[in-house]
Structure formats: C-alpha cells, structure tokens
Structure 1
Amino acid sequence: MNTKANQTTINIQEKSSLIWSIADFIREYYKPHEYGKVILPMTVIKRFNDTLQPTKQKVLDIYEQVKHLEVIDGFLQRASGYQFYNISEYDFEKLVDDSEHVEENFRAYLNGFSENVQDILENFDFDREITKLSNSGMLFLIIEAFNKPNAYMGADKITSVDMGYIFEDLVRRFSESYNEQAGAHFTSRDIIYLMTDILLATDKDILIEEGVAKTVYDQTMGTSQMLSCMEERLLQLDSEADVKLFGQELNPETFAIAKADMLIRGGNSDNMRQGNTLSDDKFKDYTFDYVISNPPFGIEWKVEKKSVEDEHKLGDKGRFGIGLPKISDGQMLFDLNGLKKLKDDGRMAIIHNGSSLFTGAAGSGESEIRRYMLENDWVDAIIQLPNDTFYNTGITTYIWIMDKDKEEKRQGKVQLINASKMYENRRKNIGNKRVDITNECRELIVKVYGDFKNKEYKLDDDKVCESKIFNNEEFGFNRITIETPLLDEDGEIVKKGKKIAPDTKKRDYENVPLVEDINEYFEREIKPYNPNAWIDNKKTKVGYEIPFTRYFYKYEAPEKSEDIAERIVALEDEISESLHKLFGMEVAYNE
C-alpha cells in the first residue's frame, strides 16, 4: 500500500502532455472542449490495461479452468491481483496488430472487463464515441498512440499519487478549453495537504502509538484526490493502517476517474458513489472519523430545492432541520451534511468562501447554521488561505476545521488563523492559481494551529501568520428591535388602547453582543439619545457571525501630503525629461 501511495519521480507534466497531444488526432472531429470525451476514458482504459498486463496470461488460464462455475469473480480477482480483471484475449498490443477489425476487437476487449470496470465505462458514456471514432478512422490511430512505450501507465511504474496528478492536469486542460470551472473537479495538492495535516494534527501521536483504523468521507470528491491524500498521510503514520475511503460525486466523468483510481489502489470501489449529495444521499446513516471536502460555493441549489426542503421538514431526523441558506448559495448545506456524517469524536475540514462567515441576518438560515455549530462547540479553527491559490477563482477562501470532541484546551473556543501571506508566487500561473502554499509555509501554519496561542509567527518579513483565540460567545449577538413612539400632529404620543403605538418609520435595530446585558446596553447606548424609546422583546433574535477581517485589521496611517507632493513633482520632472528627449519639447506644469 505504501508503494501505491507514494509519488515516484516520473515527470507528471510530461506524461499528461503526451496524453493531451493524442487529442491532435481528433481535432477535425471534436471541438477542444470535447476532447475529454475521448481522452479521459482512453486514459483510464490504458491505465487498467497496463496495470493488468503482468498477470494477463494467468487470468486467462484461470478463466479457462473456472468459466463453467456460477461464481468466478473471486478466482479471477486473485489471479489478477486486483479487484478487477479482463478475460478478453485482447490487449492494446493485439489490438494494434489487427487494424482491419479494430472496432470489433476493441469492443470485445472492453466487454472482457469485470462489471465494476463496465460501470466506470458507462459513466463515461464512451460507447457512442467508439462508433464515431471508428467511422472517422481515428480509433486505430488513438489506440496505436496509447500503445507507445512512453504512454505506459502501469501501477508498477506510476503510483496512484502520480496518476492523480496526471488526471488533475488533464481535467484542468479540458476545463480551460471549455472555460469551465476547473476547481469544480479538484483542489490543488498544496491546499489538500494543509487540510490533511491540520485534520491529523491533534490525533497524530495517538495514531502513531495505537495504530490507524479510520474511515474518511468526501461529500464532493471530484476525482478523489482529497481521499487519496488522506490515505497517504495515514499510511505514513502507520504502514499497516486500515483506511477505508468513501466518496460521492455528482459529475459522472470525474466519478468514473475516482472509481477507477480506487480499484487500482486496491480499495473498495463500491464506496465510490455517483449522485447529488444534497438531494440523493448515498451514505444515509453512515458516520466517519474524518470528513474532508471542497464543496461548490456561490452556486444555486434550485435543482435540489424540493428534496432539501422536504428533508428540512424532518427536523432532527434529517440533515437540514437547523436551517436553509439562501437559494443562491448552498455551500453551508454541506456543513450540515458533513456534521451529520461525523462520529462523536470525528473531525472535518471543509473549504468555504467568505460569505459563510457573515452572510444572513439573525434568524436566517446561514446564521442559524453558524449558531448550531458554535453553540455545540464544533467549530475548532478557521484558516484564511492566500488569494489566488485555486485554479478557478482568486477570491478569499477559508478552511473551516470542525471537531465534535475538542481537546480540553480548545473547548469553548475558536482559533482564527490569518495565513493569507503564507505563499510563494508561481513561476507559471495555472488559470487563477498564481501562488503555492510551500512545504515550509504549510509546516508553519500547522505549527500555529498546534500551538494554539494569540501570537504572530514569521518565516520572513513577507510570510507572516497570525493566530487569535476567541470564546464561542464572542461571535454571538442579540438582534434587538428599538421602537420610538408615534406622535400626532400636536406632538403627543399616540396610544392604541393602553399601549404606545410605535412609529414604524423610526424603527431601528441594534446588535448587542451576547456577552453584554441587553438592558445595560440599551440604557447606555440608546436612552440618552432617544429617551422615549423601548425594546420590543418579542422580536429579539439571536444571531452569529464571524467578522474575520475585522479581527485582523491593522491600521496604516495615510501617507503625508508633503510626501505625496514630492512624489508628484519628481514624476512630473521625469515625464518632462522623457518628452524632451523624444520630441525636443519643454513642458511646464502649473504649480
């Protein structure tokens, strides 16, 4: 398992560029954004082909011995050394040897795969592409190109981690061709490794001492790279680790890649499931030790609306009883799903944009979800990432760490970490990704998390990481409604029965921190300026928000006016001199 997990020294970029170049054969028949319909399934098929090659003949021999039996999967899996196999006489080498019957033979080859591989190919919807490629004369050329020695992708030479990088790069290229959101499919490894290392930080010593037997779940797994990185980290702690991975993915093509990867890693591919996590939960009543996810943010959940609202009505019996966010952004629904899936001592790392910190007034779905997480003492830490770390967005993003059983020193508290300056600029941008979180930066962020102090840390003058600790109540407030009497034309207070009528046009609202007494606040902040005002206590609501930016704001004095003036004069002189050299002009500026 360690061999399968660790990265080798192969040139990932070179291998993915080679595979990408095969798309040149189909450019007259497919648009660039359609290349993935051919290249991705062919890459998966070739990966299977090369991985099975060493035991190919053994599988064929065993098949001849057991083909008359009713159940033969176990025999063939043992023969192949994997949970999948192929009983066709063909492989890529033999397909190339018979160009006249390539479509017929290729279909026979694909039909020889075990059912779990058939499921993967169905999700690629590859059958129709085979016909199209064959009719255009391209099928043989593509198989021939994938059969070249430098296109070898067997698991003995290319590990699961290597293959993950290759798929990651291919998906990025196809996404960019279509101007699609590449980040919807995967998260770069520098971010994933930060998430995994933070997740394991508090458990590390125990895991090393007692051994690892853990379950990991990704509710929006893409090509399953977060899961494979968690497995990699756990195997590093314990080479005999028992790690079970579970994931759900909406996109059928990326799901197919994830399932193929799991098959070759030797894991249980049945734990990779396709479907919409919000409306079609494939892991109902499951709980896990770790949850790690990068759900979509800023995306509407109209498609899932009916199913989610129906489950919301179930209250505690469902996932979404606490509250529903605005229809324009469903990211916080994944918080609720993930928390429902955590064991009583489980931990979760999930990525959000800034809106999850503060969007929604008191009583709104977003505020109620924050209240639920904070009042249960599950929010452990929130880490601001550098901008421009993702392929498809340059906006500010955060890793939220949830813990259902915090260690004693962290109980009742939340750690905010500003790691926005912990990066190195990339030599070459990949989409919106302009910076990397280096190993050195990641190690410091993990240390900052582990130290759990109000402290600023530095790698150098530019790379600064700051930690601040707050009590949970710090983020809560009472939203109070301030009423002012309605006055008649004579300036007299209007009453309705025995009650003073409020002037709705003068109605106001105040957020009073939970740690402060409402009446004391009212007497100090409102009464001196509006003596007749009162609080409508029936309308008071509790809200929660986390003003992350405000906590880390540092005042910078504006530049002195005389310094600005000197700079302007210097620039004017420089421009005047340049114009004089170019045109022999003298330029006089008004003083």
Structure 2
Amino acid sequence: SEIRRWMLENDWVEAIVALPTDLFYNTGIQTYVWLLTNRKPAQRRGKVQLIDASGERFWRAMRKSLGSKRREIPDEAREEIVRIYAGFLNGESGASDVARIFDTEDFAYREIRIERPLRLNFHASDERLARLADQKPFARLDASEQDQIQLALRGLPDQLFRNRDQFDKALGKVLKAAGLKIGAPIKKAILAALSERDEEADICRDKDGHPEPDTDLRDHELVPLKEDWRDYVAREVTPFVPDAWVDETHRDARDGKVGRVGYEINFNRYFYTYVPPRPLEEIDAELKALETEIAGLLKEVAR
C-alpha cells in the first residue's frame, strides 16, 4: 500500500492493465502491467486509466499447456490493448467497456479505528475466584498471600455487579477489613478474573470519565479519501452501533490527519458485470431430466 501510495501521489501511474490468468508457467494468478512515467501529458495528469484485458477476447487457449501456462495473448489482442491505451493519450475519452479513467484519489482511503465501550459485570463466584490463579501477577505471590486475598474476596457480596465503580468500592471494603494492601497489578488481576463482558452492564470509564474501549470489539473502516470521515461514520456506523466512536489518536504518519491513508485498486469493483441467475424453471427441468437419467441407469444396473 505504501508503494502504491508513493507512485499514485507522485502521479507516476499512467495506466494499469489486468491480464488474463494462466499466462505463466509456474502460476495461474492474475497479472497486472503497470505503465509508469514521470512525464505525463497534461490531459493525463492526476488521472489513471484501468484496462481490463482479462476477458476472453484478449486470450486464446494454447494447443498444449506448459504447467500452469494454458493461455496466450494473440497479436490482435495486444494491438487492441495498445489502441485503448493510446486513445486516451491522443485526446479520446479513454473509457469503454474494458477501460475506465479515474482520479488518483479515487483509489485512496483512510483507515479509521472504531472503538466501542467496555462493559463488564463482576461476581465473586467460585468459578471466577478459581480463575485468579491463572493471572500472572497473582500467581507470583507467596502461597500465604494468595490464601489471604482469596479469603478476603470470599467476603464480597454474593451478587452480580454491573457497575465497575460499585464493585471497586465493595472490593476496597473487604480488603480493608482483612487488613490487606494490594498493588495495582494485583488489583488489575482481581478485576480481570472476576469480570465478564456484559452488554447490559454499565460502561467502564477512566479517571477522567471517558469510556474505556473494548479491544475485542475494535473495528476498522475504510473511508474514501474524498469523503469526510465524520459524514461516513454518521451514515455507516452510528445508526447501527450508537455507542461507537472514532479513535482520533489513530492518525496518518505523513499528513497527521485522523485515519491512516492507504491505496487499493480492485478491478472487480470497477468492472463487475452482473450475471442474472438462471430461471428456477430451467434448473428444475434439468434436475428432473437428471433424475430420469439416473433412474434409467439404475434399471440397467439391476438387470
């Protein structure tokens, strides 16, 4: 993506040609030819031509395949590709059923980070107390210290807390009553062991009152560079997850703006042709014909 970004932002890409698959001996993957120049004609500046030369009219099957190489591009197809490319150079629109012209920014996006709030419940059940032994800070304590903390935690109310602050207060009371002082790593271990994610729980907040993000719910969206990310989020994110927000510290290293810039060129997106499904009547008729054929074959076998 960074290589694509450099070439496109410096306006070096004149055209990209998608070639047919199965052209090369060791691979059947599709190949793309990038036409680069640092001397673009005025009419092509800021523009990129995509040519989809992957269709059947641009290749023919070889009489004898060589490994994965089963196709070749005939001379007349090469000439057509060159004509399409040269047409835009000579002032034509450059667009056709297999060619389209784009601004360089049409391929650019900003990857924004979507956060959702952390919601936890807490319960000092036997099952959750047993999980405390798996927490590394707690496991490093002496056995006697572990026993003292476990005993104190069993003094917590036998209820499900859906508010972390309320549970924190209850935890502080039982530890104080037991005469125990614990450090931040041990407290963090206790909270981790006794908690579970709960969509019905209150949002966990930091000391400044800001919602804490749930890293398990973190997502990323690719916003077209030409669109303001705020408009995109209001349309594509907020209606579906109202409590989500954008992490505005996730910024591009080069321009410093929210969201990291990337470039993606997807030929399928630009040259997709809808093929309607076959009518159900036609499929049903084929199935019935096959059933009749299979029944006939079974009769032959049974004779």
| Greater helix fraction, Structure 1 or Structure 2 | 1
Q: Which residue, 531, 539, 547 being the options, matches 2:266?
A: 547
Distance 1:574 1:483, change over 3 A: closer
Percent identical among aligned pairs is 47
Q: CA deviation at 1:486?
A: 2.5
Q: What displacement does 1:455 show? A: 0.5
After superposition, residues 316-465 of structure 1 pair within 5 angstroms as: 367-421=1-55, 422-452=58-88, 453-456=94-97
SS in 2 for 1:444: helix
Runs (5+) with no aligned partner, structure 2: 89-93, 121-161, 164-200, 251-258
Q: Which amino acid aligns with 2:75?
A: N
CA distance in 1, matches of 2:96, 2:5: 27
Equivalent position SS for 2:63:
strand
Alignment of 1:216-227 (within 5 A): none
* Matching of residue 474 in structure 1 with residue 110 in structure 2: no
TM-score when normalising by structure 1: 0.34
Q: What's the TM-score, normalizing by structure 2? A: 0.63
Structure 2 counterparts to residues 253-292 of structure 1, below 5 A: none
Q: Which amino acid aligns with 2:289?
A: A
Q: Distance in 2 between matches of 1:429 and 1:506?
A: 49
Greater relative contact order, per chain length (Cα 8 Å cut-off, separation 6+): 2
1:441 maps to amino acid? A
Q: What amino acid maps onto 2:99 in structure 1? A: S
Shift of residue 479 of structure 1? 0.7
Aligned-pair distance for 1:518? 0.9
Residue pairs, 1:45-64, within 5 angstroms? none
Cα distance, 1:429–1:527 mapped onto 2, change above 3 Å: closer
Q: Secondary structure at the match of 2:80?
A: helix
Say whether 1:556 aligns with 2:275. yes
The alignment partner of 2:249 has SS state of: helix
Deviations along 1:367-393, one digit per CA (max 9) or x if unpaired, are 111111111111111111112221222
Residue 495 of structure 1: how far off its partner (Å):
2.4
Q: How far does residue 568 in structure 1 lie from its aligned partner after superposition?
A: 2.2
Q: What does residue range 472-511 of structure 1 map to in structure 2 within 5 Å?
A: 472-487=104-119, 489-490=162-163, 491-498=201-208, 499-511=210-222
Q: Give the RMSD, CA atoms, in angstroms.
A: 2.1
What code does the residue aligned with 2:80 have? Answer: L
Alpha-carbon distance in 2 for matches of 1:418, 1:438: 16
Indicate the structure (1 or 2) with the bigger Cα radius of gyration: 2
Q: Judging changes above 3 Å, is the alpha-carbon distance between structure 1 residues 506 and 584 closer, same or farther for their aligned structure 2 residues?
A: closer
In the other structure, the counterpart of 1:327 is none
1:585 is displaced (CA, Å) by 5.3
Aligned to 1:285: none
Q: In structure 2, what residue type is equivalent to 1:420?
A: S
AA partner of residue 477 (structure 1): Y
- Number of aligned pairs? 209
**Which digits, 9 at most, give the CA deviation of each residue in 1:164-223, with x for residues without a partner?**
xxxxxxxxxxxxxxxxxxxxxxxxxxxxxxxxxxxxxxxxxxxxxxxxxxxxxxxxxxxx
Deviation per CA, 1:463-521: give whole Å up to 9, x if none: xxx11111111111111111222235233333222233222222221111101001111
